[in-house]
Structure formats: C-alpha cells, structure tokens
Structure 1
Amino acid sequence: MTDARISYGKLSVPVHLVRGERLLAADVSMEVLGQSFLPAYTEGDNSAVVATDTMKNVILRRAHEYDGATLDGLLYDLGRGFLATYPEMEGLRLWAVQQPWIAETGRLFRRVDGDHDVVELELSQTGGEIALVDHRAGHLGLRLLKTTGSAFTKFARDDDTTLPERGDRPLFIHLDVRWRYGNIADAIGEDRVPSEEILALVLSTFDAFVSESIQHLVHEMGTRLLAAFPALSQVSFRGENHTYDPVPGAEDAEPLSKTYTSAFPAYGLITLALDR
C-alpha cells in the first residue's frame, strides 16, 4: 500500500462564553492527527474513531468548564483534554476564529462582521506526555484608511508607467497581521502578548508614521512590534492596496478639500515577515 497521511476533525463549532460582563465568542475547529485511524480508511474499521459529533460535544462541554479569558488558553485546554481522554490521538491541530462582538455596555454587545482575532495551535503526545509544538496568532481583516500622511514617489518608471507620484495621498489598505513566539510556551503563559496591545501599536503606527510606501509602513509596524514585545519571534503582514484615486480636477483643490473615488478594481499586494 502507498504511504498515507490522514486527518479528520470538526469545523466551526460556535462557542459563546458569557462570564459576567465579559464575552468570549469564537468558531472553534479541530483536526485529529494519528495513523491509528488508518483502518477506518483501509478496512472500514471504525473501532478507534472518535465521532466528529462527539468532538463537538466535548468542545462545548470543556468550553463551558473553561474559566480563562483568552482564545489561546481555551484551545490549549481543549487540546490537552482531548489528548488525555483519547490516547489514540497522536496529535491535534486546533484553531479559533473570533466572532467580532463589541461591548457597548455591561450586557449589550454589537456584532460587527469584519476584523477579528485568530489563533492556531498544535499539540502532540508521546507516551502520555502532551506537548505544545506550534502556535500562531493574528488579527485579520483590518480595513484602515487615513486621509493624509502617506506618499508614493521616486518609483521605477518606463513607457508603461502612468501612475503619478504623490507626495501625500489618502491610504486605504486591507491588512492581516500574524505573530509567533520565540518560546511557544509563552503563548499560554505570563509572557503572552494580548492581541489588543498588538492591534493598538499597529493602529498608532498607521496613524502617526509618514510612510513612503506600504512596504515602508509594514516594515515600520513590524520593527516596532518586535521592539515592544520581546516574547515575539516573528511578525508578518499581508497588505492589499485599495487606495482611492482623485476625482479629475480635484488635484488642485485646497489641501484639506480633496475628492476621491474608488480605484480600478485590481489591487496591489504587499507581504512581509520579520524574524527576530
């Protein structure tokens, strides 16, 4: 028989943890790793298979029992519980996509579909010993616009270049930010960096830094994040340029009285990964 790499799991289990005035809401997914399940594929033998419906029930029960406040901690608790209960599982990948609720009052939350946190982690077990082997977190789906404080000049020009240089422009980007830890244990320990602090630094950099390009901007964001949070070993960015075009005739208007329209639907892509 040819070599086989197998996995199976349960996707997008909705969990809403209401703890007083705090809400932790996410869609939780998991993928089970282990060759013990191969007979289910090759022989139809399901004796070692944990049904995905059982996985859903365990996720919900253990989420109810979780008394922490972070998605990282929730996934770590779920993963350890599964591996301790089902030794035939050699490893697990778990990930959570935050449901973006904004607290308005102590009991009122407003759903704003858009940017949100994500967490991914992987655990393994050997001889009953459970280890956290990988972790990544991020904040995805940011839509950021600033009306001034961005330039794009002195770029390469040839006969196909029609884009004018702009010493100051409105900048509208779609941005995903991800990060990793040098010591994976920090992801669920005291040195964990709250995503709110990472987001705050990204936003303040976007606001205050006068960039010469989006490349220049994301590099500054990454440099500041690594300097501010020593526990992080890598930050990475995926940015799309959706900057608006000036309306014809509006270029010569007063500095604070410009008019723009949506750009051509194709967009530029910028990525960066900075390792410590």
Structure 2
Amino acid sequence: MSYSKETDDDTRSTDRRTMNYGKEKIAVYRTYATPLEGVRTIPESSFDGRDNTLFGLDVRVQLEGEEFLPSFSEGDNSMVVATDTMKNFVHHQIGEYDGATVEGFLDFVGSQFLETYSQIDAVKMSANELPFDERPIPGDEGFEPSDLVFRVSDNESAFGEMYLDRGQDGLVVEDQTSGVTGLELVKVNGSSFTDYVQDEYTTLPEREDRTLYISLDVFWTYEDSEDALGMDPQRYVPAEQVRDIAQVVFHEVDSNSIQDLIYQIGLRVLRRFPQLETVSFEANNRTWLEVRDDIEGAEKARVLKEPPRPTGYQQFSMNRGDLDEEASQ
C-alpha cells in the first residue's frame, strides 16, 4: 500500500458537496494486543513503551461516496452500509489488527472498509484512547504493578485521526492527526499575567505570580504519514511523551501568559521530534481565583476558589519554520 499526501489536481475540492454519514461512540476493547516496544526515549519522559494488555478505543467512522447520494435524494438505501454494520465491522477488525498504536488501528480498519465496500470513496477514522491504569499489588520487593487488574482512568488520552482516499496507485492517506487530549495541569507559582491592554473595560488585576490551572489538548502531524502507524517505533511519537514534555516545560518555564507557555511547549516538541511537520494546541484557562494570601507563618500559601464562567481559551498551531526562526534569533 502506498502512503502519501495528494498534492495534484486530485486533491479534494473545497466546493465539493458535503455528503457523509457514519457511526460514533463505538467503544471497543482488546485484551493482550501487540505491545508497543522499541520507542526512542527523550530527556523529558521515562516512557519507553506500553504492554497494551488492555487496548480500548472510542471510535468514530465517517464514510464518503457519490453512490450514497440516492439515499439522501431518493430514499434509496441499496448502497448504504448500515451504521450498525460499521460498529460490528470495527469490533471484528480490532481482533485482526496486529499493531500497537491508535493511528495504526485506524489506518488498518479504514483500509478494510475501502477494500470491502467498493461504493466507499473515502473514509475518515478517528478515536480517543480509553485509558486504564495498572493497580499496585504486594510483591517480593514491595508493591509492583498487577498484570491482571486495571483501573478505568480519567486521565489524558491519546487521539488519532486518519483520512483515507482511493488514489491512482492505491489507497492514500490524505490527512493524518495524532494527539493527546484532556491534560489538566496546575502550577502553584512561577506563572504571571501582566502588561496586557488596560482600558475602561478592564477589571482583571495584573498578577506577577499566580497559581495557573490549564486544560490542554495537543495535536501533531508527521511529514511522512506512515510514521504515525508505529511500524517503526523509533519514528513514532507516543502521546505519553508529548504529555511529559508539556509537564516538564510547564515546570521549567516562568511564563507570562498561556500563549507563551504553549509556544514553548511547541518548540520543545518540534525539537525533540524532527519527523513532525506541525504541532497545534487548544488550551483552556481554569485558573483559580485568590481569596487569601495572608496566612500566618506560610509566606507562599494561598486560599483559592473556582473561577466563574466564562473561561478563556487559546488555539495555536506551529510548524518547523517556527523552530528555525527561534534558532536564528
């Protein structure tokens, strides 16, 4: 199978009719999937692979094809693949997949859709990992992780999206996105927010040192989409390592805004992973409001409360040009 991005006149037209349908919230689980091994380590992270004893995904399928038009315009379902069939198809294919990554599975099942149903022109597959945590049990040398018992986790999760089309020489990956979503990080001091526009509408006081609470989603694309599949673990970028970079940069950098913080995280991600083409962010400011800072005998102690709605957010994307520009300064 050929993996490349179309750049000629066959690229999807922006004025093409919107016509697709699919199934979402397909929860699928696999025990004893192929372990992810041989991952290149980085200074910011101890992550070097995962056992995949429990491999869970929340999958979304989107099918496109001109032969589906009669189902919209004439009520003719003769070419329609029922969404319940899509669900069953995904459940079956996770048992056939012998890889170790979210993106690899999406590519695999998307390819199977296109090879099985000729009326499908293109398929977009996306998924959020359903994470699990190993639980500690007593062992010969203290507590050790159980290989049988896991806790359903509410922590951050990996994300993947693959858009596959029928190219002239076989199936083509038109678009690919990887990510880690749901990071929630709090830094008790070492962050500020000053020197912003002050006018008659401004009521927010400047803060030289604040407790900063953010939620963060990070997404990235590869220069070669085949690297996203994990077939060469040395070229694969695990969500766990990007998460750890975000945590380390948050610890190290005394930022003057969330914008400054995510820019520094982006530079570090691009620096660590030269195989990446872009990195992008959506951040949400959930910073607690200070109630007291006059606690006797505790200079840095504060009493804080939840912020009221609405909350601020930031979106930002970067590419290797930003890294080159930073290096030239």
TM-score by length of structure 1 reads: 0.92
Residue in structure 1 matched with residue 48 of structure 2 by the alignment: none
Q: Contact 1:90/1:126 (CA < 8 Å) preserved in 2?
A: no
Report the CA distance between 1:215 and its aligned residue.
Answer: 1.1
**In 2 relative to 1, CA 47–227 (structure 1 residues): closer, same or farther, beyond 3 Å?**
same
Partner in structure 2 of residue 116 of structure 1: 157
From 80, 95, 115, give the equivalent of 1:49.
80
| Counterparts in 2 of 1:65 and 1:247: CA distance versus 1, 3 Å | same
Cα distance in 2, alignment partners of residues 115 and 156 from structure 1: 34
Aligned to 1:240: 284
**Preserved contact between residue 5 and residue 35 of structure 1 (Cα < 8 Å):** no
1:36 aligns with 2:31: no
RCO greater where, 1 or 2, for CA within 8 Å and sep 6 or more?
2
Which consecutive segments of 4 or more residues in structure 1 shift more than 6 A?
none
Q: 1:178 aligns with which of 207, 216, 219?
A: 219
* Contact 1:179/1:234, CA 8 A, preserved across alignment: yes
Q: What is the aligned residue count? A: 274
Shift of 1:56: 1.6
The 10-residue stretch of structure 1 (180-189 or 221-230) with the greater mean CA deviation from structure 2 = 180-189
Deviations 1:175-222 (A, max 9, x none): 111111122222114222111111111111112211111111111001
Q: 2:111 aligns with which of 59, 73, 80?
A: 80
Moved more, 150-159 or 6-15: 150-159
In the alignment, the residues of structure 1 paired with residue 268 and residue 293 of structure 2 have an alpha-carbon distance, to the nearest angstrom, of 39
SS in 2 for 1:207: helix
CA displacement at 1:154 relative to structure 2 = 2.5
Match of 1:139 in 2: 180
The one-letter amino acid of 2:251's match is D
Residue 205 of structure 1 aligns with an amino acid whose one-letter code is V
* Residue from 107, 114, 123 that aligns with 1:92: 123
Q: Secondary structure at the match of 1:174?
A: strand
Deviates further, 69-78 or 180-189:
180-189
Unaligned stretches of 5+ residues in structure 2: 1-15, 34-50, 136-145, 321-329
**1:228 correspondence with 2:272:** yes
Q: 1:194 aligns with which of 204, 228, 238?
A: 238
Name stretches of at least 5 consecutive residues in structure 1 with no aligned partner: none
Letter in 2 for 1:218: I
Per the TM alignment, residue 12 of structure 1 is displaced from its structure 2 partner at its CA by: 1.6
